[in-house]
Chain A
Amino acid sequence: MELVKPAFGLIFWMCVSFGLILFILKKFAWKPVLNMLSEREESIQTALDAAEKAKTEMRLMKSDNERILNEARAERDALLKDAREIREKMISESKGLATKEGERMLKSARENIQNEKMAAISELKNQVAVLSIEIAEKILKAELSSDEKQKALVKNLLQDINLN
């Protein structure tokens, strides 16, 4: 029976000493220890987080660099393409222009030639007319220089009419 009969003295000392140790340990041991533990855990966590953050940042930077590089490359390609296009365009444009100009020049030359030709022809015609009149005058003058000749002519002419 002694085993299951709690002794008063033991309960008393248990209460006293457990209360005391609870109070002392709570104040001088558990509080600093638990605080330090959580502080350390926090600092470890922050360090881990910072490392993770740095890693992500690095990755971001890397991808950023890649992106920038790609952009630069694309820009260069675009520039080159543009330049090529411009050149092409310029060449084709000037080609067109030159053809047109040539054509225009040819046309105007042709026109000029035509004009000159026409002028020359009309000049020639005038010349021929003047010369013809002069020749005719000279012939008439020679034909009608004497009376006999004039009579012969009239006679000739009259003969022609008779024939009719």
Chain B
Amino acid sequence: MPKFAPEIEKPGNLFRAMTNKINIFKRISLFLIVLFTTFSAFAYEPIEKEKNNVVDPPETGKSTEEKSEKFNAGELIIDHITDSHEWHIAGHLALPLPIILYSSEKGLSVFLSNKFEGGEEYNGYKLQKNEIVAVDEDGVIDEKATAKLWDVSITKNVASMFVSIALMLWMFISVANKYKKNPGKAPKGMQSLLEPLIIFVRDDIAKSAIGEKKYKRYLPFLLTVFFFIWINNLLGLIPVLPGGANVTGNIAIGMTLAVMVFVITLLTANWNYWRHIIAMPGVPFGVLFILTPIEIFGMFLKPMVLMIRLFANMLAGHIIALSFFCLIFIFAEMNPAVGWGVSIFSVAFTIFMGMLELLVAFLQAYVFTLLSAMYFGSAIDEGHDPNNHVDDHATDRNF
């Protein structure tokens, strides 16, 4: 009988580990929900006030003053989902971020964004509608110099990205060290949270889309992309300082990632891939005149779709969540009591959206990684099966 005792205990341990894992997920999601719901209200309200009190430039003074009396939801939302040169904390408090500019005339100039506060000029530069422009001595915008200006400032998105990268480095290197320290042991703590995800990316994304033989080559990229998107998506859901930026919902991020996928696809593509694009085997010569342009177009379309999917999904989530909050202020403008009444529904909807966004955050990371893996897989496909090609496009349409 004692011989069987450890076997009986094992499922118990497993169960405990699983509940632990669930607990971690629960805690994280609960944390996010609490953050989202409590701080969103605080975070948006002062900005709205700020908007009303803003000191407008004298030339447009009257008309904007009239306008600023009314709450402008569209402006507020756009303000929140676009990049910015400062990181808003609460009320009038904002973290100034470094501005790094390079122009062939003035060379490199580095300073903090609070130098621009109140629409001031600094060092021949001025912040206008979130964009840095070069100005001449009289304060008139110099279009020529602006066109030649390279702006590599640490904006809110860049800073948020740095936070996510620091987080990723800490998470994965500490986990890797744990693996090194006790090899062959059961995972613990953070390991047991990340290990299923790593195995998921390896087995269900890389192995299934690329194939048993060559997936190892792409796996580091796929893992990095997956966790980069996922963690940035999650950080985007937190409305206060460590997050609050809309990194993955910015087209530049999606574009860079998509270009990386495109370049890797082209660099690793085999002869079979090119043959299918340039002259699809088994197709009459005349049809190639139609098919080849389509294939070449498709080649560029795939990364475009990747970019737009990520960008649009994340952006839409942010816009919807913000819109629910704006409803409160729109109704409050009519009557404060109505505003309070609406706030109940708004908060409820925002909680719902927050939950949905948690899912979407994971889903988009998964979809992006899976499709990247599929493109890599199609690039190295040895191509005995003509259906593979059709499948590829079919899955593309599904998402």
Q: List residues of chain A with CB under 8 Å of any chain B CB.
A: 2-15, 17-18, 20-22, 24-26, 28-34, 36-37, 39-40, 43
Contact = CB atoms under 8 A, between A and B. Distances in A.
Contacts of A4: 251
Interface string B69-109: 00000000010011100000000000000001000000000
B151 A8 contact: yes
B169 A25 contact: yes
Q: Is the interface of A mostly helix, strand, loop or mixed?
A: helix
A33 B81 contact: no
A3 B152 contact: no
Listed residue (A29, A34, A36, A37) with the most chain B CB atoms within 10 angstroms of its CB:
A29
A70 B252 CA distance: 80
Contact of A3 (B198, B199, B251): B251
A30 B168 CA distance: 12
**Most-contacted residue by chain B among A17, A25, A37 (CB, 10 A):** A25
A22 B221 contact: yes
Interface of B: 78, 81-83, 100, 129-130, 150-155, 157-158, 161-162, 165, 168-169, 172-173, 175-176, 179-180, 183-184, 195, 198-199, 202, 219-221, 223-224, 228, 250-253, 255-257, 260, 315
Nearest to A4: B251
B152 A12 contact: yes
A8 B172 CA distance: 29
29 contacts: A3-B315, A6-B250, A7-B155, A9-B100, A9-B155, A9-B158, A10-B250, A10-B252, A12-B152, A13-B152, A13-B158, A14-B252, A14-B257, A17-B158, A17-B162, A21-B165, A24-B169, A25-B169, A28-B172, A30-B223, A31-B220, A32-B176, A33-B172, A33-B176, A33-B198, A34-B202, A37-B179, A39-B183, A40-B184
Contacts of A26: 220, 224
A79 to B, nearest CB: 41
A148 B181 CA distance: 168
B173 A28 contact: yes
A6 B255 contact: yes
A36 B179 contact: yes
A69 B224 CA distance: 63
A18 B247 CA distance: 13
A50 to B, nearest CB: 15
A25 to B, nearest CB: 5
Contact of A33 (B155, B179, B251): B179
B220 A37 contact: no
Nearest to B172: A29
A140 B52 CA distance: 202
B81 A22 contact: no
B52 to A, nearest CB: 22
Given A10-B158, A17-B165, A29-B172, 14 more contacts: A6-B250, A6-B252, A6-B255, A14-B252, A15-B256, A17-B162, A18-B256, A21-B228, A25-B173, A30-B172, A30-B223, A34-B219, A36-B183, A37-B198
Contact of B260 (A18, A34, A37): A18
A9 B224 contact: no
A83 to B, nearest CB: 46
Contacts of A10: 83, 155, 157-158, 250, 252-253
